[in-house]
Amino acid sequence: MIKPITRKQAEKPPFKLSLLQKILLVLGLIILMFTSLPMVVILLIGLLPSLTIMLVDSKNTNKLIIVGCCNIAGMFICLTSILNQYNLNQQISILSNIFNIVIMLGAAAFGMILYFELPNIFSVIFKNSAHRRLRSIDNKLDKIAEDWGRDIINELNK
């Protein structure tokens, strides 16, 4: 039975928001900003490394995920202190303390180090494992050679 030729369907265009959806999204962000201004300011300053990666290297989602998760983990300390005392004075005291900024941005730096060095660490681990396995196989071959004799193994290698 001959199958009919099927044509490839055209790819769907990327998801686009309508004008009404864009307006509602902007209004929602404005309402969120005015109702939770201290938290939004901390989030904007703390997420600068993640926002930079999103703008500069938007195709590399692995880097964004690793750095973003580490960045949010570093910001979690500051966000919990904002939630405990929800006022603008607490926001100013958090942002004026240099150690809080170092923790937030340093966690993102740790994420970048993880992104660049994790493949190297795994390659070293796998290489050491392969060398250990090769030594084990060589030791087993030497033991077999002692049991059966070297001349038999030499004949098999020919």
Q: What is the pLDDT of residues 14-26, one digit of tens each?
A: 677 788 988 998 9
Measured CA distances, 13 to 7, 16, 17, 21 (Å): 18, 8, 12, 18
- Residue 12 within a domain: no
Residue 67 lies in a domain: yes
Domain membership flag for residue 58 = yes
Q: How far, in Å, CA of 60 to CA of 65, rounded? A: 9
Domain count, the chain: 1
Is residue 73 included in any domain, yes or no?
yes
When comparing pLDDT for 138 and 154, which is higher? 138
With respect to residue 20, please indicate whether it lies within any of the assigned structural domains: no
For residue 149, pLDDT beyond 90? no
Q: Is 112 a residue whose pLDDT tops 80?
A: yes
State which residues form the domain around 48. Answer: 39-153
